[in-house]
Amino acid sequence: MNSLDLTTEIRVGHLCCGSGFGARGFRKANARVGNLAATFRNIGGIDVDPAGIRDFERFAGCRGTVLDLMDLEQYRAFHGAEPPEGWREAMPADIHRAMGNERPHIWFVSAPCKGFSGLLSETASKALKYQALNQLTLRAVWLALEAYKDDPVEFILFENVPRIANRGRPLLDKIQALLEAYGYAYAETTHDCGELGGLAQSRKRFLLVARHREKVPPFLYEPPKRPLRGVGEVLGKLPVPGGDPVHPMHRLPRLQWKTWVRLAFVEAGSDWRSLNKLAVENGHLTDYLIVPDMRGGVLGVNRWDERAGTVAGRSSPTNGAYSVADPRAPAGAGEYGQYGVRPWGETSGAVINVKSPGQGCYAVADPRASGSFEGGGKYRVTAFDEACGTVIAGSTTGQGAFAVADPRPAGFAGGRKHFEGGGHYGVARWDQHSKTVASSSNLDNGYWSVADPRPASIDGDPVSCLPAPDERLTCRIEALDGTWHRPFTTLELAALQSLFDPEEWAEFGMDGSSDSTWRERIGNAVPSDAAQVIAGVMGRTLLLAWTGETFMLSADPIWVQPLTIALSVDVPIEGREPIRITGDRK
């Protein structure tokens, strides 16, 4: 910066601020027009969650205020009860106090999106609880406008999920009517925050951008798009999880053994539907054998004519080749083939006066169904495309074919449409970008596992048998592609959201100690890098307005006008008609 450069400050206020990761992006941003440069300063944030506010103050660098923005009717509908003693509706004066009695140049509003999210069914979204939560969007915008109606804020940025454009259409219409009444031009757009911030995830979000017509004549231009990155570019900078966690947010979950097996057989870049390709009979894989990964001759058996290894202090079968293939029969045992089982096509031994199974080969491998089941097919499972037998008075699984082989995933109704395209048990490739990090991101409800090619450091003694299907543990199963299919850790989800510099992972932390609450706040966050880019474009437009410029030629699309308009000056010059230059963009 040379001696002729001037620096100014752009103030930002945050409503429904959450943990302040969007504010962190604004804090890092800057803008420049000619010799005039701008830095950004957050002046305050409001949210109802005390833990979120504690995070906000850490990441935004300013004071936060715990305040419920609902009105009384919304509170009753959402909570199903009367508010506690001392509760009152927030008013514009409360907004002033929360902003330190300063006026922001930019309002950033990130209202709750649960009621509009596709993760919530259409029926559930119509419940009074979620309708009240949705109404908070309108009240938050009204408070932002009314608090500074005598000296309007230059920009308002309203962020939410894309589905708000459909489910929340009536609310958006009311919000736009408010904006027009207070003198704002606005536009609804949908952007991929991953492309704006150059993230390793695709995160589509709804952005309503409004500028005050009198204070900001220039148009606001869209930020440039950047290519998405592979998850490995980000996760590769973090330690490999496993063993004792090196960070409280970087621990692997203890999953059921059968879940680890499922993940191992999901093809990288795919989801649970990969499992349909496996050949399974009677609940067992027919084309694969899963055995513990043991080394050092664990459970080894020496031949009778082979020398043994070194006898160690702990010479048991589970930690070395400490067994032998002994060809000799135990003294007095096995002489008559005790407990022997004859194949169906083989002759029997001589029938003697003692003929119980424990006294010789007096058992047979009978391939026929038991006679008592004749015609009843007891415990039989009917195929999904097969007709059922007659329904009788005692129609239970022990009395006939009253079970069905249901190919649909369990626990999902309505044709399983949400499950079909939801990527449940999805595994992302190391060089593939992630899906949108949601507030409920877990391995069984989306692409929240990764095919990690790095060697793991899972400590512990070898085991002599495989775990029970429902036993919970942390383990590594090397998948068919040679990688470790494992869930994302909470720290990795935060990294995908650009909530911290991966090179400085040890310094990152959030309020509390619960992975589920951390993940909810991480999933609700606006990615910091995307917010930084958006702030830069807003800052550039503000500097143009403050220096008296009414337009600027730019190759970037215009944000608050249709994309077919290349340039337009909508502020009349005294004594002249407004100048309008239009044309299709090439």
CA 136/CA 52 separation, integer angstroms: 18
Please indicate, yes or no, whether residues 433 and 538 belong to a single structural domain of this protein: no
Q: Is the dihedral of CA 250, 531, 554, 190 positive or negative?
A: positive
Q: Would you call 262 helix, strand, or coil by DSSP? A: helix
> Are 207 and 248 part of one and the same domain?
no
* CA-based torsion, 429, 430, 436, 439: positive or negative: positive
Q: Identify whether 407 is part of a domain.
A: no
> How many Cβ atoms sit within 10 Å of the Cβ of residue 362?
21
The residue that leads in pLDDT, 505 or 450, is 505
pLDDT interval class at 419 (50, 70, 90)? low
Report the sign of the C-alpha dihedral through residues 488, 494, 496, 501, in that order: negative
Q: What pLDDT digit, counting tens, does each position of 214-262 carry? A: 998 877 777 778 999 999 999 999 999 987 889 999 999 889 988 898 8
pLDDT at 410 over 80: no
Name the CA dihedral angle for 482, 488, 492, 495, rounded to a multiple of 10 degrees.
100
The answer to whether residues 476 and 529 belong to one domain is: no
**152 versus 415: which is more confidently predicted?**
152
566: left (phi over 0), alpha (psi -120 to 50) or beta: alpha
Q: Residue 124 pLDDT more than 60?
A: yes
**How confident is residue 430, by pLDDT bands cut at 50, 70 and 90?**
confident
d(CA 407, CA 504): 46
The tokens for 159 are 């962020």
Same domain, 547 and 448: no
Based on the fold, state whether residues 425 and 547 are members of the same structural domain.
no
Whether residues 536 and 508 share a domain: the answer is: no
Over residues 473-517, the pLDDT tens digits come to: 888 888 888 888 999 999 999 999 999 999 999 999 999 999 999
Return the amino acid letter for 423: G
Residue 33 belongs to what H/E stretch? Answer: strand 30-33
pLDDT, tens only, 66-96 = 999 999 999 999 899 999 999 999 999 999 9
The DSSP bridge pattern shows strands 30-33 and 36-47 to be: antiparallel
pLDDT value at 295 more than 70 = no
Question: Is the same domain home to 159 and 264?
Answer: no
Task: Residue 530: count other Cβ atoms within 10 Å of its Cβ.
Answer: 29
Tell me the C-alpha to C-alpha distance, in Å, between residue 496 and each of 59, 159, 357: 17, 19, 63
| Contact indicator for 222, 487 with CB cutoff of 8 Å | no
- In a domain, residue 347? The reply is no
Q: What is the mean pLDDT of residues 5-27?
A: 95
> Which residues form the domain of 175?
6-230+524-581
Judge if 207 and 72 occupy the same domain: yes
How far apart CA 331 and CA 207 sit, in angstroms, is 84
The torsion angle over the Cα atoms of residues 102, 25, 60 and 499, rounded to 10 degrees, is: 160
Return the closest-CA partner of residue 539 out of 18, 28, 19.
28
Query: Any residues with CB less than 8 A from the CB of 483 and at least 6 apart, and which?
Result: 268, 430, 451, 452, 453
Average pLDDT for the chain? 80
Binned at pLDDT 50, 70 and 90, residue 550 comes out as low
534 belongs to a structural domain: yes
Judge if 100 and 20 occupy the same domain. yes
Between CA 155 and CA 275 the distance in angstroms is 50
How many structural domains compose the chain? Answer: 2
Categorise residue 414: left if φ over 0, alpha if ψ from -120 to 50, beta otherwise. Answer: left
In order, the DSSP letters of 148-174 are TTTS--SEEEEEE-TTHHHHTHHHHHH
How many CB atoms are closer than 10 A to CB 335? 10
Per-residue pLDDT, averaged over 265-290, amounts to 86
DSSP calls for 408-456: SPTT--GGGHHHHHTTTT-EE-TTS-B----TT--GGGSS-EEEE-SPP
> 39 and 18 in one domain?
yes
Residue whose token pair is 């589509």: 204
Buried (b) or exposed (e) across 411-436, using 16+ Cβ within 10 A?
eeeeeeeebeebbbbbbbbbebbbbb
367 lies in some domain: no
Q: What is the pLDDT of residue 153?
A: 97
pLDDT score, position 388: 76
Distance CA 438, CA 130 (A): 18
Q: Are residues 126 and 96 in the same domain?
A: yes
**CA 334/CA 222 separation, integer angstroms:** 85
Q: What is the pLDDT of residue 369?
A: 52
User: Residue 334: inside a domain, yes or no?
Assistant: no
pLDDT band at residue 465 using 50, 70 and 90 as cut-offs: low
Element (H, E) at 132: helix 128-147
Note whether 102 and 85 are same-domain residues: yes
Per-residue model confidence (pLDDT) at position 576: 35
Residue with tokens 């249901």: 406
Nearest residue to 40 (alpha-carbon basis) of 58, 55, 28: 28
Whether residue 88 lies inside any domain: the answer is yes
Rg (CA), the chain: 33
Q: Is residue 383 part of a domain?
A: no
Indicate whether 560 pLDDT > 60: no
Q: How far is CA 476 from the centre of its chain?
A: 22
Q: For residue 491, which of 468, 510, 473 has the smallest C-alpha distance? A: 510
Residue 331 within any structural domain of the chain:
no
CA pair distance 483, 452, nearest whole angstrom: 5
Query: What pTM does this model have?
Result: 0.70
